[in-house]
Amino acid sequence: MTGSVMSRKGLLFWVLMIIVLITVLFPLYWILITALKTPLENILPVPSLFPKKVTLENFFSVMRTGFFKNLFNSLFVAFTSTFFSLVLAFLASYALLRYKFPYKLNVLFLIWVLIVKILPPMVLAIPLYTLFTKVNLINNLWGLILVYQVYTLPYCIWMLFGFMKNLPLEFEQAAEIDGASKLKTLLSIVVPLSSSGIAATAIFSIIIAWDEFLFALLFIRSPSLQTLPLKIVSFITEYETLWGDLMAIGLLATLPVLFFSGYYYKRLTEGFSLGLK
């Protein structure tokens, strides 16, 4: 990097950097210190910038309210729905890449996938709710896993299709000449070749399901089946003053996701395609 662009990095540059960092980090810092303050300190009329007394009380209190059950629900739903989406998306993407279906089905299918990605999920909520009620999938984690395919399946198809577009055809042709069955070729050649794409897709799909709120709110009734976003909202709307507890849950729900920031950044900068996000 040379010349005109580099010379701009004067004092202003570093001041701006500090402003940006403070803006980004301050709310996160606030989550941390609110979680560490005593319940009493959290409702002082003048909020303190540093906890006067650091306590883990809020974390213990949250754990007594069934946090681990909620954590388990969130993990179970996020991982299971991602698993199903990955399997279905992988198979579908492979079919779309390697076979030309009649009636322009390849393109039509991908356009439909995009439409689903764009569609506001609220539009689907009412018919799905009435349908799921009839088949006993309301207030049921499996129902949530099924409905999360609305988000994760189009996402996985789009991402995997993008990754697999660049797979070389030669290995598959060689396997075919050797007389390997289609399924064997798929499992022993295509899966290993796409593993980095599958891993990336899995991580983002898990994050999407981990954060989902709308269908969880509509489909889950029992507190014991609540996922973490539901648990957080119940703290926001019902127990408005238990801010320490709220932020303690928030912190626990956030840390595992922040862990992937470096990876996320790498992926985002590797190539920006319109389909991302």
Q: Which stretch binds other proteins (CB under 8 A): 52-60, 134-142, 164-172, 187-195?
A: 164-172
Does 5 help bind other proteins (rule: CB under 8 A)? yes
Among 59, 163, 219, 235, binds other proteins (CB under 8 A): 235
| Binding residues for other proteins restricted to 166-205, rule: CB under 8 A | 169, 172-173, 176, 182-183, 186
Among 6, 11, 64, 238, binds other proteins (CB under 8 A): 6
Does 30 help bind other proteins (rule: CB under 8 A)? yes
HSE-CB at 183 with a 13 A cutoff on CA atoms is 0
CB 110 within 8 A of CB 165: no
Among 52, 130, 187, 195, binds other proteins (CB under 8 A): 130
By rule CB under 8 A, what string of x and - marks binding of each residue 90-119 to other proteins?
Answer: -xx-xxxxxxxx-----x-xxxxxxxx-xx
CB 131 within 8 A of CB 196: no
Q: Output Rg (C-alpha) for the chain, integer angstroms.
A: 23
Q: Which stretch binds other proteins (CB under 8 A): 29-37, 50-58, 59-67, 191-199?
A: 29-37
For other proteins, the closer of residues 95 and 199 by Cβ is 95
* Of 125, 131, 88, 81, the residue nearest 109 (C-alpha): 88
Does 154 help bind other proteins (rule: CB under 8 A)? yes
Does 120 help bind other proteins (rule: CB under 8 A)? yes
Spatial CB neighbours of 253, under 8 Å, sequence gap ≥ 6:
74, 228, 229, 232
Does 245 help bind other proteins (rule: CB under 8 A)? no
CB 157 within 8 A of CB 113: yes
For other proteins, the closer of residues 16 and 54 by Cβ is 16
Kindly state the greatest CA–CA separation across the chain: 77
Number of Cβ within 10 Å of residue 150's Cβ equals: 20
